Amino acid sequence: MDNAPGRPQFDRPALVSVMAQVAEVDGWMTPGQASTLYDSAVRCPDGSQVVEIGSFQGRSTIVLAMAADPSVQVIAIDPHAGNDRGPQQIDGYADEADSDHAIFNKNLADAGVAGRVRHLRMFSDDAHTEVAGDLGVLYVDGAHRYAPARADIVSWGARVEDGGTLLIHDSFSSIGVTFAILRELLLGSKFRYVGRSRSMTIYR
């Protein structure tokens, strides 16, 4: 990916530091995927926004917040409702909901990024009115069922600005997400496929 004008070059030593920071944070994110998130956030234009749909306990949120320029607003959307915690954890985790939320807040505070992240504890389809303007980076790691995954790609993807980046996790490990991608992005005209890091696909 090309650098946005005026932004620093991709800083590999800084990424190493970030990975050390999230080493004990639970979540489904490989080092390669963390590198992709970090790179995308570094290149997010000054004054723009990064929106993450599905934060779990904050592993990816911390990477995005530590990488983005201070002028970039980082918004994490996750209801922490005990559902869609992963490809095989769609329902039946209500008891974990408040625990996930508390751990998320603690992890962000421990990483020193709590003040950098605006958390919207709501479902993504309800959050549009809470976020104004276009997005420089959109990271979708939310619902794994076809209908809500497709809705995230369509409705939030429409808000990605020209030259912006769309990242989708679990693209090949969740059949609902895979079908949503095939339906909306395979032949779509707004985004072009850039590459992938294992199950994370990258579009611009």
Instruction: Output the pLDDT for position 28.
Output: 83
Instruction: Output the pLDDT for position 9.
Output: 45
Instruction: Output the pLDDT for position 83.
Output: 58
pLDDT tens string 149-199: 999 999 999 999 999 999 999 999 889 999 999 999 988 789 999 999 999
* Helix runs in 112-174, H state only: 146-151
Q: Is the pTM of this model over 0.75?
A: yes
Q: Which domain holds residue 196?
A: 27-203
Is 20 inside a domain boundary? no
Q: Which CATH number belongs to the domain containing residue 102 in this structure?
A: 3.40.50.150
Is 17 inside a domain boundary? no
What letter would DSSP give residue 154?
I
How many independent structural domains does the chain possess? 1
Instruction: Output the pLDDT for position 113.
Output: 96
Rounded distance, CA 25 to CA 91, Å?
Answer: 22
Is 166 inside a domain boundary? yes
pLDDT < 50 positions in the chain: 1-9, 89, 91-92
Residue 45's contacts (CB-CB under 8 Å, 6 or more residues apart) are 4, 7, 72, 136, 161, 163
Instruction: Output the pLDDT for position 187.
Output: 81
Instruction: Output the pLDDT for position 84.
Output: 55
Is 9 inside a domain boundary? no
